[in-house]
């Protein structure tokens, strides 16, 4: 029986920029065979979308709560959402402040 696929939209706050959070998130997601993306936000948070098996997404959310060695995660907000089709896992550019793309919870 095939495991259920899910998608989570994640906002991570704390000391999560300038500590390789995006790069390490990408490596961890690829190891778990997840699809989606990660990027820094102008407000200092990191935003990511993870798509894959429920087990892999839950494992990734656990990783996000710990983060890489030099990070200090204060909060992880997880929003379930409908599954989108992603070919792989990407590190995206930081959006420009004031752009509609940056309006996040």
CATH number of 5-85: 3.30.70.100
- Say whether 4 is catalytic: no
**Whether residue 99 lies in the annotated active site:** no
Domain residues of the chain, as ranges? 5-85
| Active-site annotation holder among 4, 40, 65, 66 | 40
pLDDT of residue 17: 95
CB contact burial 4-15 (16+ within 10 A = b; e otherwise): eebbbbbbbbbe
Query: pTM, whole model, 2 decimals?
Result: 0.90
Q: DSSP per residue over 7-50, as a string?
A: EEEEEEEEE-SSSSHHHHHHHHHHHTT-EEEEEE-TTS-EEEEE
* pLDDT score for 90: 96
As averages over each run of 10 residues, the pLDDT of the chain (105 residues) reads 91 96 97 98 97 97 96 96 94 79 51
Write down the catalytic residue from 22, 35, 39, 45.
22
């Amino acid at each position: 029986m095939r495991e259920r696929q899910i998608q989570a939209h994640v906002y991570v706050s704390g000391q999560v920029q300038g500590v390789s959070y995006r790069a390490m998130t990408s490596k961890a997601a690829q190891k778990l065979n997840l699809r989606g993306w990660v990027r820094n936000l102008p407000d200092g948070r990191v935003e990511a979308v993870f798509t894959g098996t429920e087990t892999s997404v839950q494992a990734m959310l656990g990783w996000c709560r710990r983060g890489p060695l030099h990070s200090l995660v204060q909060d992880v907000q997880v929003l379930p959402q409908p599954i989108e089709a992603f070919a792989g896992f990407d590190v995206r550019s930081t959006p420009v402040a004031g752009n509609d793309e940056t309006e996040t919870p």
